[in-house]
């Protein structure tokens, strides 16, 4: 004890460097399941799209929006990933990146574990799943929209590929054969060749999931313990095109600054 008496908290602290996220920019925290290729096999996810797993992801995202309701305005999810869009004016943890990412990713993960049984009542969790996370700043709404479009395009391309891949496997091809036959070729052509009725697939598989607060247009204030609160609106999950302008024009409040 005596030996460490001269070690001041200031000295130990002086080694800590907080990276702060740039002020007045949109922050995207993207989380992604670690080794979910394996996790989905061990837990027998239906391929290519297990809707129980997707619905569990969506529920966790709703929980995140409800918990961080002052700061997170939108989320977009596909497969084992979710992107959370945080307001430009957010000052949560003084915008310290480590704090923000770790708080979101750990809350998401613990919710995933707590609620697993509701979605997979027949199958026990065989080991603890984990997610990683990162934060990226986007200086304008236009670039943020480009980011979201990129994720939705990725969803579409992966889903086309996976639909072909698993159709080939179902027809008796090995995974290697399926992979080889999809190399280089145009996916659109493959879909026709394999007679996949792509547009009949559930919209959640094709467009991913968008989570946001359904704005009640008359903003009623209600009394709670003597304080009045603005109604926050219910958090909802929709499967919509977020690349074109229509969705954003119909929901101007989501990305207003
Ligand atoms: P990493 O740790 O680098 O993220 P990963 O194995 O998680 O590795 P990803 O690129 O994130 O790789 O891909 C996630 C994988 O999880 C998909 O390829 C798919 O096999 C599986 N997966 C995730 N969600 C589902 C789902 N709802 N239905 C079926 N499979 C899924
Ligand atoms: P923050 O979110 O800022 O970390 P906090 O409430 O978690 O806020 P900490 O400084 O991390 O504050 O302190 C953790 C608190 O949790 C302790 O002050 C104590 O009250 C409680 N705590 C943690 N572990 C134990 C334990 N094993 N037994 C009893 N209390 C505990
Ligand atoms: Mg990853
Ligand atoms: Mg992953
Ligand atoms: Mg992924
Ligand atoms: Mg502590
Ligand atoms: Mg603490």
Give 29 Cα–ligand 4 centroid separation in angstroms: 15
Question: Is any atom of ligand 1 closer than 6 Å to the C-beta of 36?
Answer: yes
Closest residue by Cα to residue 159 from 221, 94, 208: 208
Element of type H or E holding 65:
helix 51-67
ipTM of model over 0.95: no
The C-alpha atoms of residue 197 and residue 194 are separated, in whole angstroms, by 9
Q: Does domain 18-144+203-250 have CATH number 3.30.300.30?
A: no
Which two three-digit tokens encode residue 183?
């190399």
pLDDT digits (tens, 9 = 90+) for 56-113: 999 999 999 999 999 999 999 999 999 999 999 999 999 999 999 999 999 999 999 9
Give 225 Cα–ligand 4 centroid separation in angstroms: 43
Instruction: Report the mean per-residue pLDDT for the chain.
Output: 93
> What pLDDT was estimated at residue 6?
82
Q: Which residues surround ligand 5, an ion (CB under 5 A)?
A: 32, 79-81
pLDDT digits (tens, 9 = 90+) for 222-238: 566 655 555 678 999 99
Mean pLDDT of 190-200: 94
Dihedral sign from CA coordinates of 115, 119, 124, 126: negative
Task: Return the ligand 1 atom nearest residue 34 CA.
Answer: 2
The C-alpha atoms of residue 90 and residue 94 are separated, in whole angstroms, by 8
Which two three-digit tokens encode residue 217?
């247009």
Sequence ranges of the domains in the chain: 18-144+203-250
């Amino acid at each position: 004890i005596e030996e460490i008496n001269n070690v001041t908290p200031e000295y130990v602290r002086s080694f800590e460097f907080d990276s702060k996220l740039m002020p007045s920019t949109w922050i995207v925290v993207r989380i992604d399941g670690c080794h979910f290729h394996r996790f989905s096999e061990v837990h027998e996810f239906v391929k290519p799209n297990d809707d129980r797993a997707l619905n569990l992801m969506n529920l966790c995202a709703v929980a995140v929006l409800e918990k961080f309701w002052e700061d997170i305005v939108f989320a977009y999810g596909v497969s084992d990933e979710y992107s959370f869009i945080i307001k430009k004016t957010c000052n949560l943890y003084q915008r310290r990146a480590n704090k923000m990412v770790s708080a979101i990713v750990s809350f998401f993960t613990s919710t995933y574990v707590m609620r697993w049984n509701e979605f997979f009542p027949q199958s026990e969790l065989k080991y603890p799943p984990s997610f990683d996370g990162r934060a990226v700043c986007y200086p304008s709404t236009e670039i943020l929209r480009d980011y979201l479009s990129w994720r939705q395009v990725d969803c579409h391309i992966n889903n086309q590929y996976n639909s072909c891949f698993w159709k080939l496997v179902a027809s008796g091809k090995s995974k290697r054969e399926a992979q080889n036959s999809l190399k280089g070729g145009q996916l659109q052509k493959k879909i026709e060749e394999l007679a996949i009725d792509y547009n009949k697939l559930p919209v959640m598989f094709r467009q991913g999931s968008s989570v946001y607060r359904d704005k009640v247009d008359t903003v009623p204030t209600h009394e709670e313990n003597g304080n009045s609160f603005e109604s926050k609106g219910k958090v909802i999950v929709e499967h919509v095109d977020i690349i074109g302008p229509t969705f954003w024009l119909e929901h101007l409040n989501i990305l207003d600054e």
